Amino acid sequence: MSRSGSSAGHGTSDGDGARFAQLVSWLDAHADALLDDPANNLIGVGIGKKSAGPLSDESPFCITDFVEKKLPEKTVKAQGIPLFAAAAASVTGIGRPRDLPFEIDLVETGARFKAQPGLKVPESQRGLHGGMPPTLDLQKRFRVLRAGLGITNPQRAYPHTLSVGTLGFFVIDDQGRQYLVSNNHVIAAENAGKKGDAIVQPGTLDLTASELALMSTPAKLNAQLKIASLSGWIDIQFHGPTGIPFNDVDCAAAELAVAELAAAKRDVTEIARIGLGGNLRGVATPFAVDPVTGQVAGSTRVYKAGRTTGWTEGDVTQLAVVTDVTYGAGLARFRNQIGIQASQRALQEKTPSILEQIPVSAAQLSLPLDGRGARIRASVKSNERAQVPSRVNVEIDGHHVTIPIEAVDDYAEYKAY
């Protein structure tokens, strides 16, 4: 692997900040060219640390390349795969990889990135999929709603297909209407949802055989389990014959059916916050380097509560990731994503098929930031890298709804996964 011939500025906060900005600009200019060339065999590219550890460590910022499997340099050359250093130098217009003005690193993912489909299976295969409930069981029916619970949009599929995904967090618009936020691919069917679709909890894959028998039609299911109505979503833009558009978020919102179903109310007790919540501390500028420490502002420790995996923890190891994600409807390119490495405990407990490096949509994550604020980019319609506004813009029912950050619910410290 080629290394940069220059590390000017490393060791000083000003130098680290300048280097980070340089790498962001380089990604903006060249990430597409790297990913568009299948000969490069790349899964994604982003900004990390040369140590491949958390962004809080002391090693220099570098360009990180995601590959399915690391191979010896001899094998790579024998198979005719360009070294990442050579590919990076080529798109930059530099003749020799050693002349690149930054360091590079390779991270093995184990597989290409795929959107978790919310587990959709034929009804006849119920029980064969979905896995055992985790220690923090979010697969059952809850009297009141909390982030991390299993939900789904079963319309036009139930009862022949059973499905489940995860409730991400809650928001309130300027008119006081309350919404749950999840992924487009979970509750808006990858752009195929319809306004007013009933969202139910638990997901239909988590129902018992007797419950399925009692709620054998969509009408019966909705009458018993409806918690919200699909209100709007940000379309996922897929690769097409005319080009490869960028996506920033995989996001959809559904208005809570509080007036229709008392069980749709949210749990705001202290008990609900144990393992399932936290307090939103504010808003931080994304990708900002602290001028005093030279590190990315805030803590790199993150956690999530999800229907399938329960409680998991990890560290942010990459920012500004650009990658292609596979959906049922096609391939979609995402930018401004976040790479997370699971904690060592999680790595020991998981199966080898689980990715150690996971770029996640901005709709899926908020960062607890050491008392200085939390990054909220979840449902941001105009997601500019330079600044996160103090208000979140969401498109609901064809209208842009502006949500003050202070109105975002305490439960926002979850990724909808």
Contact 305, 148 (CB under 8 A): yes
User: What CA dihedral angle connects 273, 277, 283 and 287, to 10 degrees?
Assistant: 150
Rounded to a whole number of angstroms, the CA Rg of the chain reads: 22
Q: Are strands 366-367 and 375-376 parallel, antiparallel or unpaired?
A: antiparallel
Rounded to whole angstroms, how far apart are CA atoms 163 and 197?
Answer: 15
Answer with the residue of higher pLDDT: 368 or 106: 106
Contact 165, 118 (CB under 8 A): yes
Answer with the residue of higher pLDDT: 382 or 74: 74
Contact 184, 236 (CB under 8 A): yes
Mean pLDDT, residues 365-381 taken together: 29
Note the Cα 135 to chain centre separation in Å.
22
Rounded to whole angstroms, how far apart are CA atoms 237 and 121?
Answer: 25
Q: What share of the chain is helix, strand, coil (3-state, %, to 5)?
A: 20, 30, 50
Q: What is the pLDDT of residue 160?
A: 92
The single-letter DSSP state of residue 81 is: P
DSSP lists the bridge partners of residue 396 as 399
The one-letter amino acid at 73: E
Contact 196, 146 (CB under 8 A): no
Contact 391, 244 (CB under 8 A): no
* pLDDT class of 16 with cuts at 50, 70, 90: confident
- Above 70 in pLDDT, residue 368? no
DSSP lists the bridge partners of residue 24 as none
Q: Are strands 161-163 and 165-166 parallel, antiparallel or unpaired?
A: unpaired
**Alpha helix stretches (DSSP H) within 336-394:** 344-349
Q: What is the pLDDT of residue 130?
A: 55
Neighbouring residues of 268: CB distance < 8 A, sequence distance ≥ 6: 410
Rounded to whole angstroms, how far apart are CA atoms 224 and 343?
Answer: 39
Question: pLDDT per residue over 20-57, tens digit each?
Answer: 889 999 999 999 999 999 888 899 999 999 888 888 88
Minimum mean pLDDT among 114-118, 223-227, 255-259: which range? 114-118
**Alpha helix stretches (DSSP H) within 9-70:** 13-36
Q: What is the pLDDT of residue 81?
A: 80
Rounded to whole angstroms, how far apart are CA atoms 20 and 133?
Answer: 41
Contact 394, 403 (CB under 8 A): yes
Mean pLDDT, residues 332-358 taken together: 59
Rounded to whole angstroms, how far apart are CA atoms 212 and 348?
Answer: 36
**Cβ atoms within 10 Å of 402's Cβ, excluding its own:** 12
- Above 90 in pLDDT, residue 82? no
Answer with the residue of higher pLDDT: 161 or 300: 161
Q: What is the pLDDT of residue 411?
A: 30
- Above 60 in pLDDT, residue 2? no
> Cβ-count burial of 91 within 10 angstroms (0-12 exposed, 13-18 middle, 19+ buried)?
middle
Mean pLDDT, residues 285-296 taken together: 70
DSSP lists the bridge partners of residue 180 as 170, 254
Q: Which token pair is 181?
A: 């936020």
* pLDDT class of 103 with cuts at 50, 70, 90: very high
Residue with tokens 């949500």: 403
Contact 164, 307 (CB under 8 A): yes
Q: How many residues does the chain have?
A: 417
The one-letter amino acid at 3: R
Measuring CA to CA, which residue among 156, 78, 67, 154 is closest to residue 106? 67
Question: pLDDT per residue over 181-214, tens digit each?
Answer: 999 999 999 999 999 999 999 999 888 889 999 9
- Above 50 in pLDDT, residue 396? no
Answer with the residue of higher pLDDT: 367 or 240: 240
Q: What is the pLDDT of residue 46?
A: 95
Burial 165-186 (b: 16+ CB within 10 A, else e): bbbbbbbbbeeeebbbbbbbbb
Question: pLDDT per residue over 228-287, tens digit each?
Answer: 999 999 999 999 998 899 999 999 999 998 654 444 565 555 445 545 555 555 566 666
> Cβ-count burial of 7 within 10 angstroms (0-12 exposed, 13-18 middle, 19+ buried)?
middle
What ranges do the domains of the chain cover? 13-108, 111-417
Rounded to whole angstroms, how far apart are CA atoms 224 and 344?
Answer: 41
Measuring CA to CA, which residue among 351, 333, 368, 309 is closest to residue 164? 309
